[in-house]
Amino acid sequence: MAKVYKGSQKVRITVQTGIDLTLATSYVLLVLKPDGRNVEWIPTIDTPATAGNLGYTTDSAGKDLDVSGTYYIQSKVGFAGSVLYYGETGMFKIWEYYK
């Protein structure tokens, strides 16, 4: 995979949750940016839902990937009956310009 640089736009990020998302009632990606900010990204469920993948495309202004460094990302999926499932934490690196 090619390096992704700070300020990049419309980057597709896929998170494998490890569970069937067919009956999910809510889902979000929890993101810890390198500067310590916690944000939430609203993904879509990739098809087929049974594969358990959530997909998110970063914004067109470059604000989602506005800091270089290591990003930590974790899925949070809700089901009926107030059942919540947190996926394993993943990480990816965003590079500073000219690196």
| pLDDT tens digits for range 57-94 | 999 999 999 999 999 999 999 999 889 999 999 999 99
Report if residue 3 sits inside a domain.
Answer: no
Report if residue 4 sits inside a domain.
Answer: no
Report if residue 7 sits inside a domain.
Answer: no
Return d(Cα 53, Cα 29) in angstroms, integer. Answer: 11
Report if residue 5 sits inside a domain.
Answer: no
Please tell me the total count of domains within the chain: 1
Report if residue 34 sits inside a domain.
Answer: yes
Q: What is the CATH number of the domain that holds 72?
A: 2.60.40.1220
Report if residue 36 sits inside a domain.
Answer: yes
Report if residue 79 sits inside a domain.
Answer: yes
What is the full DSSP assignment across 26-88? EEEEEEE-TTS-EEEE--EEPSSGGG-EEEEE--TTS-TT-S-EEEEEEEEEEETTTEEEEPP
pTM: 0.93
| pLDDT tens digits for range 8-20 | 999 999 999 999 9
Return the number of other C-beta atoms located less than 10 Å from residue 99's C-beta: 8
Which residues form the domain of 22? 12-94
